[in-house]
Amino acid sequence: MAKLYFTDDHEWLSVENGVATVGITDYAQEQLGDLVFVDLPEAGRALKKGDVAVVVESVKAASDVYAPVDGEIIEANQALGSEPALVNSAATTDGWLWKMKLADEGQLSGLLDEAGYKALIG
């Protein structure tokens, strides 16, 4: 069973067997507006927590999406190349951004659970 985590930067992570699927939250996509482009990361790229992993561009602005933990990208959501609006319509399911192999699962303890995230966005 996958475990869900959230960051203060409005990313979500679904973690299962040492692999995290990462995306932006519904709240984040609502703030951004309609996405028109997602700059997808390359598989094999190593990320440190806080590194810019993805840039999403909406009709309003371009925004960085940060690595919530250390790890290596193993897959990017190629469907977003032709259909970036998937992030708007299904932010926490089909609109995921990348999958990464976690370097240190201990970093997950510094993230929010769903209740903590809901309190953050109030």
- For residue 102, CA distances in Å to 19, 44, 82 come to 6, 12, 28
Position 36 scores a pLDDT of: 97
* DSSP tag of 120: H
Q: Where are the domains of the chain?
A: 3-121
Mean pLDDT, range 83-95, rounded to an integer: 96
- pLDDT, one tens digit per residue, over 38-55 is 999 999 999 999 999 999
- Class for the domain spanning 3-121: mainly beta
- For residue 86, CA distances in Å to 31, 36, 60, 78 come to 15, 10, 17, 11
- pTM > 0.85: yes or no: yes
Mean model confidence pLDDT for the chain:
96
